[in-house]
Amino acid sequence: MDNQLPSSPQRGNTIDSRATTLRDEEEFKKPPFGRKETHSTTGPGTISNYAYWIGREPGFAIFRSFKTLNARNLLLSQAEIIYAEDELKKLEKDDHFDSDGTQKRFFRLLQAQEGSNGWKQLQQLLKIRKMLDQYSTSAH
């Protein structure tokens, strides 16, 4: 008789199971190895309490990766870049610069007067540059 373990609460006995739950909650709040903690929590299951334990034990961390939402975001970014590229192609089609080489042409874009077709192309290229930087960062 002396070697028997104490019996566990029986199912259906709400008083015993509630006592076990409260005891488990109190054990969760106690710091391991008898260390005194200064962290104040509002109870088990709170974000504050969970963040505290993640800080103490990084192995407790479980975070969602939101892969589906990230994929949607990348697809939307692609669509925006494609649209911006089409707008740039329209501007280039209307371009009145001589076809004397790409390098010289880009130099002319940098010197274009505000409101001119060259200026609009430059603004579109700068817009696309920002979009590509953001897309490239998000994609990796």
Q: What tokens does 19 get?
A: 């006592």
Domain residue ranges of the chain, discontinuous segments joined by +? 14-60, 67-139
Classify residue 1 by burial, with Cβ atoms within 10 Å: 0-12, 13-18, 19+: exposed
Nearest to 121 by CA among 107, 101, 131, 136: 107
pLDDT tens for each residue of the chain, 140 residues long: 555 555 544 555 555 555 555 555 565 555 555 555 555 555 667 888 888 888 888 888 888 889 999 999 999 999 999 999 999 999 888 775 555 445 557 778 888 889 888 889 999 999 999 999 999 998 87
Q: What's the pTM?
A: 0.55
